[in-house]
């Protein structure tokens, strides 16, 4: 007889192991994923945008002793502005903001040759401290309220997440960061930022790919001509935290923080949604937006006076985050189902082989038993004699086994229908 235990089950583990290594679940992995910056994985810009492509220029932090060149500042500014500009569902004009003339609500612009530090930055606790860049860049003449407003967002981001603001800014809370945040804020009017026409992806009005800041980082696009196009005259509608004091920055140059989406300490910069939330001044972390239960989430949302664009972004972030986890779980289940079915197939195949072997064994045993029974039958039949000592004819008589074990010789024409009776 075959041994079922000898059947080797060949379980296809490759896919499941691979999955286990790649499909992460739970908050930690989700955070890792959310925090993963993939600047080199973003799709290229649509050619119609006509953005000049340049090389990725090193960025330097002036407070760290380096020099934040114009390109470096542009990188910073663009990184955030594009994460803003990709937001959809914002009540913004459909025209592309790449044409300054289309941003009619923008504050008067300083002519390009006058590009330099914002003149109103002097009112801010954090000032634009490095020298004016040598290149030209239009900048709004008038600025909104205190720039401390724009320092708040980074403070609000959960401590459990990467602090996007400082990370993006090379963890320097000094002038470059403030300039960036002011630039970001300047991108919003009451209807939100001007938005490229190409950004029409999310069903709730969020752009997903083209203008992602990570792709900009990766491709080193020149951004200065777009960054200052948004007006800078509206503060977020919710209370702001005190301004972030200007601190000397002893961190590595920003080029390190932007390269490969990592901070100078090698930490992952916030995810795209985190940067969106940062740019939109969402006063709570993406982690909470995604992971909070419905009731807690609703309570959290109602706790802050959020604008419609902010609510749309929050709902989109939550939906995408939930769906991301759901997709991961779905794929995990699919792989587990596949592995289970493969294992079941192997087991059933082995069972079939075992049953076939059993059947062969049984057939051989049956044939042997029949052969032995026939021989025994013939032997017994031949030993029987009638009163005259003659043998019985096999054509006329048969031997039958009674229920009590007795053997009877009966004529064939007297055989009962059921021999066992």
Partner DNA sequence: GTCTGATGTCATCGG
Partner DNA sequence: GTCCGATGACATCAG
- Exactly one of 31, 35, 37, 42 binds DNA (CB under 7 A); that residue is 42
- From residue 348, give the alpha-carbon distance in Å to each of 12, 27, 235, 308, 355: 15, 38, 67, 57, 10
Residues 6+ apart with CB under 8 A from 317: 273, 276, 277, 282, 286, 289, 290
- Exactly one of 322, 352, 370, 378 binds DNA (CB under 7 A); that residue is 322
Question: Shortest approach of DNA to residue 205 CB, angstroms?
Answer: 9
The strand pairing partners of 407, in sequence order, are 401
Rounded to whole angstroms, the Cα distance separating 155 from 278 reads 10
Q: Does 41 bind DNA (CB under 7 A)?
A: yes
Cβ nearer to DNA, comparing 15 with 49 = 15
Question: Shortest approach of DNA to residue 208 CB, angstroms?
Answer: 5
Q: Does 129 bind DNA (CB under 7 A)?
A: no
Task: Report how many residues bind DNA under the rule CB under 7 A.
Answer: 39
Q: Does 208 bind DNA (CB under 7 A)?
A: yes
Dihedral sign, Cα of residue 31, residue 35, residue 41, residue 43: positive
Q: Does 48 bind DNA (CB under 7 A)?
A: no
Best CA proximity match to 307, nearest among 186, 209, 197, 188: 188
Stretch in the footprint of DNA (CB under 7 A) among 32-40, 51-59, 64-72, 173-181: 32-40
- Exactly one of 64, 168, 180, 206 binds DNA (CB under 7 A); that residue is 206
Question: Shortest approach of DNA to residue 32 CB, angstroms?
Answer: 9
Start-to-end Cα distance in the chain? 34
- Exactly one of 33, 105, 288, 343 binds DNA (CB under 7 A); that residue is 33
Question: Shortest approach of DNA to residue 333 CB, angstroms?
Answer: 5
Which bin fits 301, alpha (ψ -120 to 50), beta or left (φ > 0)? alpha
Q: Does 203 bind DNA (CB under 7 A)?
A: yes
Q: Does 276 bind DNA (CB under 7 A)?
A: no
Q: Between 326 and 345, how does the x/- string for binding to DNA read (CB under 7 A)?
A: xxxxxx-xx-----------
**Exposed/middle/buried for residue 274 (C-beta within 10 Å: 0-12, 13-18, 19+):** buried
Question: Shortest approach of DNA to residue 209 CB, angstroms?
Answer: 6
Tokens 């002793």 locate to 65
Cβ nearer to DNA, comparing 24 with 357 = 24
Which bin fits 263, alpha (ψ -120 to 50), beta or left (φ > 0)? beta
Question: Shortest approach of DNA to residue 221 CB, angstroms?
Answer: 13
- From residue 338, give the alpha-carbon distance in Å to each of 12, 14, 192, 245, 333: 9, 12, 47, 56, 8
Q: Does 23 bind DNA (CB under 7 A)?
A: yes
Helices and strands in the chain, H and E counts: 12, 4
Cβ nearer to DNA, comparing 160 with 353 = 160
Other C-beta atoms lying within 10 Å of the C-beta of residue 159: 8
Q: Does 173 bind DNA (CB under 7 A)?
A: no
- Exactly one of 209, 225, 267, 398 binds DNA (CB under 7 A); that residue is 209
Question: Shortest approach of DNA to residue 270 CB, angstroms?
Answer: 12
Rounded to whole angstroms, the Cα distance separating 156 from 70 reads 29
Cβ nearer to DNA, comparing 324 with 343 = 324
In the complex, which residues of this chain contact DNA (CB under 7 A)? 15, 18-19, 22-24, 33, 36, 38, 40-44, 201-203, 206, 208-209, 215, 272-273, 294, 316, 319-324, 326-331, 333-334
């Amino acid at each position: 007889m075959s041994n079922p235990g000898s059947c080797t089950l060949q379980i296809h583990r490759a896919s499941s192991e691979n999955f286990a290594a790649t499909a992460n679940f739970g908050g930690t992995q989700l955070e890792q994923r959310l925090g993963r910056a993939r600047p080199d994985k973003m799709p290229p810009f649509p050619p119609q945008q006509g953005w000049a492509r340049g090389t990725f220029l090193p960025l330097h932090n002036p407070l760290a002793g380096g020099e934040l060149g114009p390109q470096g500042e542009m990188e910073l500014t663009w990184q955030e502005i594009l994460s803003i500009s990709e937001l959809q569902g914002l009540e913004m004009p459909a025209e592309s903001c790449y044409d300054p003339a289309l941003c009619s609500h923008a504050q008067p612009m300083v002519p390009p040759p006058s590009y330099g530090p914002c003149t109103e930055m002097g009112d801010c606790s954090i000032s634009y401290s490095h020298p004016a860049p040598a290149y030209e860049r239009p900048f709004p003449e008038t600025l909104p309220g205190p720039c401390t407003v724009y320092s708040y967002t980074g403070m609000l981001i959960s401590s459990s997440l990467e602090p996007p603001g400082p990370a993006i800014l090379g963890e320097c809370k000094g002038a470059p960061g403030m300039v960036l945040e002011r630039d970001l804020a300047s991108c919003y009017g009451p209807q939100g930022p001007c938005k490229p026409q190409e950004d029409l992806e999310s069903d709730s009005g969020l752009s997903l790919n083209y203008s992602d800041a990570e792709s900009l980082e990766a491709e080193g696009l020149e951004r200065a001509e777009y960054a200052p196009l948004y007006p800078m005259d509206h503060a977020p509608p919710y209370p702001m935290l005190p301004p972030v004091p200007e601190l000397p920055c002893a961190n590595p140059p920003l080029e390190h923080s932007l390269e490969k989406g990592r901070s100078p300490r090698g930490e992952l910069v916030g995810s795209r949604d985190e940067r969106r939330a940062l740019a939109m001044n969402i006063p709570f972390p993406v982690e909470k937006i995604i992971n909070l239960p419905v009731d807690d989430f609703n309570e959290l949302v109602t706790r802050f006076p959020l604008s419609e664009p902010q609510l749309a972004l929050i709902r989109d972030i939550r939906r995408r985050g939930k769906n991301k986890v759901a997709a991961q779980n779905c794929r995990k289940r699919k792989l587990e189902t596949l592995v289970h079915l493969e294992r079941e197939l192997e087991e059933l195949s082995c069972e079939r082989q075992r049953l076939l072997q059993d059947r062969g064994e049984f057939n051989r045993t049956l044939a042997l038993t029949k052969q032995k029974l026939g021989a025994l039958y013939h032997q017994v039949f031949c030993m029987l004699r009638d009163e005259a000592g003659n043998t019985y004819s096999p054509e006329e008589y048969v031997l039958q086994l009674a229920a009590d074990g007795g053997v009877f010789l009966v004529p064939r024409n007297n055989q009962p229908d059921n021999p066992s009776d």
